[in-house]
């Protein structure tokens, strides 16, 4: 066993709130050895990220107490280290990759400037030397054409590229410990695999240790040497990765490992009526340059796609970011301008002006990826769910609306006392249930599910998928299910289409596409998900 790099002993973190103190971390102890990959797993609110942030004392001291515990690094207790000492340590010896690079990177500065800032601070480099090293770092983490990308702003890069920039910043000073807080949560499976391979290559090159914070157990299984399972602020089990997945001892660990999406696909028949039929759907975005904004090209976001969706059917749409998945879904619902034919029952809606579409809007609903940003923070749950009812069912009295809302909330597993509460008072899974209630109450026929579970824990994900399956059966709903998680697509979908660069490269039943892929691109997507052993047999 390699020497201990860092020791956490009986760590306790308490948040000071208006209603009293909340113990977020309660007596956590673990070690990280040199060149070791340690993962901390658990559901949202278990204390994972709070523990990771404590290693660098990144909490707001006005809101947090550190009443007990020790964090030993290099024979120094970081719990009693001064802010000056911690500032010298952060980014140099211990670096951190945060979950969402778009909120971690400054949108006002090019990414190269932000990498250079670390080099100037900890290595005392001048601007030119720092720029040269930053270019080498971008090349090291797999950014193509780094000499040009170094002057790009964060919004000009893809999600995977932004995460690579974050890794480049974290590795600028060759840290001995890298803390990665949910580094791949919002990334496609292929980009996830690239990031993991990158971290492993860099670890082999530099010998650094990695502390991985995640709720993705499959990621842990592929990457971690040792796993700590957290629940309600405590580590309930700690073991090697192989031992934990082979023989979990704690009840909560077994609960997490059993939280795989269940296949619950209602039977449909070829004779079931067609709800939506689309032919030759195209969505092109013009590229304009110059003072007069002349068109110099176009982006073919969706290019000549045909769709048939039957009543009660789920059509899975998969592909990498930028493949056109969401744009296709929005085009089918007439939310973005497109060409081609779209039929909804007997209506040729592709030619309808907005005035004619408005009465049909209630039949097409959307559940977005992040329920917190799609629910108004200033409205109660009752106001949120009632908003569509007032528009599409104006004849309902206030009492009738209340009764209908209560019934729908019960259907999605929420009590009546949720009516008067606000979105921030609910967990992620509960907020997604509110978003589902808002759509189902309008009695839609087609629901676009745009990454509805990607931001949720595995256990909550399973609950939401079960809810969606039950609602599909009881209401005969048709789903357009967009996801980069192939496990979820397989569990939910009757048929699937695989998109790349705006085109459909493969389509068919779930079994045909995943078990016997015909195209190399489909095989690459499946290969990136091989940590789910049952996902593909070829």
pLDDT per residue over 142-195, tens digit each?
888 899 889 999 888 876 788 888 888 988 888 999 999 888 766 677 777 777
Q: Is the pLDDT of residue 535 over 70?
A: no
What is the C-alpha to C-alpha distance for residues 264 and 231, in angstroms, rounded to an integer?
A: 29
476, 444 in Cβ contact below 8 A? no
- pLDDT exceeds 60 at position 531: no
The answer for residues whose C-beta is within 8 angstroms of residue 358's C-beta and 6 or more apart is none
What is the distance between the alpha carbons of residues 355 and 336, in angstroms, rounded to a whole number?
15
Tokens of 467: 């809810």
Q: Which domain, by its residues, includes 18?
A: 1-93+219-258
In terms of domains, do 320 and 420 share one? Answer: yes
Domain tally, the chain: 2
Q: Which residues pair with 76 in a beta bridge?
A: 73
Torsion angles phi and psi, residue 117, rounded to 5: -60, -45
* Residues 242 and 317 both lie in one domain: no
The pLDDT of 6-30, averaged and rounded, is: 86
- The pLDDT of residue 19: 66
Is 538 inside any structural domain?
Answer: no
Average the pLDDT over 253-258 and give the result: 88
- CA gap 218, 534 in Å, rounded: 13
Q: Is residue 423 classed as helix, strand or coil in its secondary structure?
A: helix
CATH code for the domain of 57: 3.40.50.300
Per-residue CA distances from 129 to 90, 142, 166, 236 (Å): 21, 20, 20, 47
Instruction: Report the candidate in 92, 86, 98 with the shortest Cα–Cα distance to residue 165.
Output: 98
Residues 373 and 499 in one domain: yes
Q: How many residues does the chain have?
A: 538
Alpha helices in 272-380 (DSSP H): 325-332, 354-357, 371-374
In a domain, 283, yes or no: no
Q: Do 357 and 494 belong together in one domain? A: yes
Dihedral sign computed on CA atoms, order 141, 147, 148, 152: positive
Q: What is the pLDDT of residues 387-434, one digit of tens each?
A: 999 999 999 999 999 999 999 999 998 889 889 999 888 877 788 899
Residue 397: other Cβ atoms inside 10 A: 8
Over the range 319-344, which residues count as b (16 or more CB within 10 Å of their CB) and which as e?
Answer: bbebbbbbbbbbbbbbbbebebebbb
Residue 249: enclosing H or E segment and its boundaries?
none
Please compute the mean of the pLDDT values over residues 251-266 and round it to a whole number.
84
The pLDDT, as a whole number, for residue 459 is 79
Same domain, 253 and 316: no
**Last residue within a domain, chosen from 229, 258, 287:** 258
Asked if residue 456 is part of any domain, the answer here is yes
Mean of pLDDT over the chain: 87
Tokens 């969606």, residue located = 468
User: Would 347 be classed as within a structural domain?
Assistant: yes
**Are both 230 and 367 inside the same structural domain?**
no
User: Are both 250 and 314 inside the same structural domain?
Assistant: no
CA distance 176 to 241: 22
Is residue 58, in this structure, part of any structural domain at all? yes
Per-residue pLDDT tens over the stretch 267-282: 888 788 999 999 999 9
In terms of domains, do 242 and 318 share one? no
**Which pTM was predicted?**
0.77
Strands 347-348 and 339-344: antiparallel
Nearest to 28 by CA among 282, 234, 268, 240: 234
**pLDDT digit string, tens, across residues 299-314:** 888 999 999 999 999 9
The span from the first CA to the last CA of the chain, in angstroms, equals: 38
At residue 339 the predicted structure's pLDDT band, cuts being 50, 70 and 90, is: very high
Q: Is the pLDDT of residue 291 over 50?
A: yes
Q: Is the pLDDT of residue 362 over 90?
A: yes
Residue 48 lies in a domain: yes
Same domain, residue pair 319 and 447: yes
pLDDT tens, position by position, 410-422: 999 888 988 999 9
Q: How far apart are CA 365 and CA 440, in angstroms?
A: 8
Name 317's bridge partners. Answer: 482, 497
Are both 326 and 467 inside the same structural domain?
yes
d(CA 515, CA 80): 56
- The H or E element spanning position 30 is strand 20-33
Take residue 28 and report the two structure tokens written for it.
């956590």
Residue 159 belongs to what H/E stretch? helix 159-171
Is 189 within a domain? Answer: no
Q: Are residues 253 and 402 in the same domain?
A: no
Of 440, 389, 381, which Cα lies nearest the Cα of 416? 381
- Please check whether residues 361 and 480 belong to one and the same domain: yes
Within a domain: 286: no
List, in sequence order, the alpha helices (H) in 12-105: 48-55, 83-89, 101-104
402 token code pair: 């209340």
Going by the DSSP 8-state scheme, the letter that residue 231 receives in this structure is E
């Amino acid at each position: 066993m390699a020497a201990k790099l860092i020791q956490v002993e009986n760590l306790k973190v308490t948040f000071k709130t208006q209603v009293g103190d909340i113990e977020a971390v309660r007596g956590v102890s673990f070690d990280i050895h040199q060149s070791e990959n340690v993962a901390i797993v658990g559901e949202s609110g278990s204390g994972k990220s709070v523990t990771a942030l404590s290693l660098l004392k990144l909490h707001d001291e006005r809101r947090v107490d550190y009443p007990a515990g020790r964090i030993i690094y290099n024979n120094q207790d970081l719990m009693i280290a001064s802010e000056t000492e911690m500032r010298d340590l952060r980014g140099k010896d211990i670096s951190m990759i945060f979950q969402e690079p778009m909120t971690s990177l400054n949108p006002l500065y090019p990414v190269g400037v932000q990498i250079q800032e670390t080099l100037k601070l900890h290595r005392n480099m001048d601007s030119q030397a720092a720029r040269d090293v930053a270019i080498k770092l971008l090349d090291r983490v797999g950014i193509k054409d780094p000499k040009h990308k170094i002057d790009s702003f964060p919004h000009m890069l893809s999600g995977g590229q932004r995460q690579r920039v974050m890794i480049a910043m974290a590795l600028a000073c060759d840290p001995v410990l890298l803390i990665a807080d949910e580094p791949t949560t919002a990334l496609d499976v292929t980009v996830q695999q690239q990031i993991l391979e990158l971290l492993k290559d860099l670890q082999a090159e530099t010998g650094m240790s990695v502390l991985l914070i995640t709720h993705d157990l499959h990621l842990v299984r592929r990457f971690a040497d040792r796993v700590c399972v957290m629940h309600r602020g405590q580590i309930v089990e700690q073991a090697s990765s192989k031992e934990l997945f082979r023989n979990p001892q704690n009840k909560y660990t077994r609960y997490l490992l059993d939280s795989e999406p269940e296949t619950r696909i209602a039977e449909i028949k070829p004779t079931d009526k067609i709800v939506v039929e689309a032919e030759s759907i195209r969505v092109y975005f013009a590229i304009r340059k110059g003072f007069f904004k002349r068109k110099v090209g176009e982006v073919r976001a969706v290019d000549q796609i045909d769709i048939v969706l039957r009543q009660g059917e789920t059509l899975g749409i998969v592909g990498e970011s930028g493949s056109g998945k969401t744009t296709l879904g929005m085009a089918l619902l007439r939310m973005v301008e497109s060409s081609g034919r779209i039929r909804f029952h007997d209506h040729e809606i592709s030619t309808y002006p907005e005035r004619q579409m408005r009465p049909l809007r209630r039949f097409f609903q959307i559940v977005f990826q992040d329920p917190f940003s799609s629910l108004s923070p200033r409205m109660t749950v009752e106001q949120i769910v009632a908003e569509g009812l007032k528009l599409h069912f104006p004849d309902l009295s206030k009492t009738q609306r209340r009764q209908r809302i209560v019934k729908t909330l019960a259907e999605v597993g929420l009590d009546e006392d949720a009516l008067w509460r606000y979105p921030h008072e609910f967990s992620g899974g509960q907020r997604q249930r509110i978003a589902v209630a808002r759509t189902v109450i309008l009695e839609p026929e087609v629901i676009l599910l745009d990454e509805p579970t990607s931001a949720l824990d595995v256990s909550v994900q399973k609950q939401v998928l079960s809810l969606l399956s039950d609602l599909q059966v009881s209401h005969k709903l048709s789903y357009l299910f967009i996801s980069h998680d192939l496990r979820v697509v397989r569990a939910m979908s009757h048929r699937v289409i695989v998109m790349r660069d705006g085109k459909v490269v493969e389509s068919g039943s779930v079994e045909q596409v995943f078990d016997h892929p015909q195209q190399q691109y489909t095989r690459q997507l499946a290969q990136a998900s091989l940590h789910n052993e049952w996902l593909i047999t070829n």
